[in-house]
């Protein structure tokens, strides 16, 4: 049983990444207290349903939010950011780690458009999180210009950006670099 002051870690999968796929089950086995949001399926994804699922998972209790870390992977970061912006005034999660997050992809698919429109309210997103870190790969196949992507995260959301050399899109069954980032941030919860 998780103690009252134990941190909560919630993972928001990428598009086409199911709760029991990718590195998510491995992370659950490696770090106590991790839950994975089971996003509604759909092609294209339903951004409102995804955001609602994330809001339900993180809840509205200010005490719980203050000890919550949320990890958003790839396209899962967009509904996560919308969920943060939708939190009630005075409510914020402790930490967000965005893994392979992007502002634009090199070869956009029409199915991604509903996730990125309308534009985000950057101030509302910043109000919904105490600390935001972004983990980007130097060779992500979807966002070749990782430096430009990082600059947008810093400019728009004042995020701290960390680069993982040659990590692709972080889609393997195990992601030690993600776990290392979590352990570094976990102590701050």
pLDDT of residue 108: 79
In angstroms, the CA 161 to CA 73 distance is 14
pLDDT of residue 19: 77
The two tokens of residue 160 are: 């701290």
Cis omega (within 30 of 0) on the bond before 14? Answer: no
In angstroms, the CA 31 to CA 68 distance is 14
| Nearest CA-CA partner of 50 in 39, 60, 41, 59 | 39
| Nearest CA-CA partner of 61 in 93, 21, 102 | 93
Q: Which domains occur in the chain, in start order?
A: 8-137+148-186 (3.40.50.1820)
pLDDT, averaged in runs of 10, over the chain (189 residues): 65 82 90 86 81 95 94 94 96 96 87 81 97 97 95 97 96 93 76
DSSP letters spanning the chain: ---TT--EEEEEPPTT--TTSTTHHHHHHHSTTEEE--PPP-SS--HHHHHHHHHHHH-S-HHHHTTEEEEEEGGGHHHHHHHHHHSPTT--EEEEEEES--S--SS--GGGHHHH-SPP-HHHHHHTEEEEEEEEETT-SS-S-HHHHHHHHHHHH--EEEEETT-TTS-SS--HHHHHHHHHHHTT-
């Amino acid at each position: 049983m998780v103690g009252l002051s134990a941190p909560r870690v919630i993972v928001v999968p990428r598009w086409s990444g199911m709760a029991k796929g990718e590195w998510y089950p491995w992370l659950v086995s490696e770090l106590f207290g991790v839950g994975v949001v089971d996003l509604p399926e759909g092609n294209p994804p339903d951004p409102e349903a995804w955001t609602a699922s994330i809001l339900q998972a993180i809840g509205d209790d200010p005490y719980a939010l203050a000890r919550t870390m949320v990890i958003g992977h790839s396209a899962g970061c967009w509904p996560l950011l919308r969920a943060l912006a939708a939190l009630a005034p005075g409510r914020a999660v402790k930490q967000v780690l965005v893994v392979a997050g992007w502002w634009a992809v090199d070869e956009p698919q029409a199915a991604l458009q509903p996730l990125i429109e309308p534009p985000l309210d950057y101030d509302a997103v910043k109000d919904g999180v105490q600390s935001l870190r972004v983990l980007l790969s130097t060779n992500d196949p979807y966002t070749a210009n990782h430096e430009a992507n990082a600059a947008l995260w810093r400019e728009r959301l004042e995020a701290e950006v960390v680069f993982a050399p040659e990590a692709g899109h972080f889609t393997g069954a195990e992601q030690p670099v993600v776990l290392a980032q979590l352990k570094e941030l976990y102590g701050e919860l």
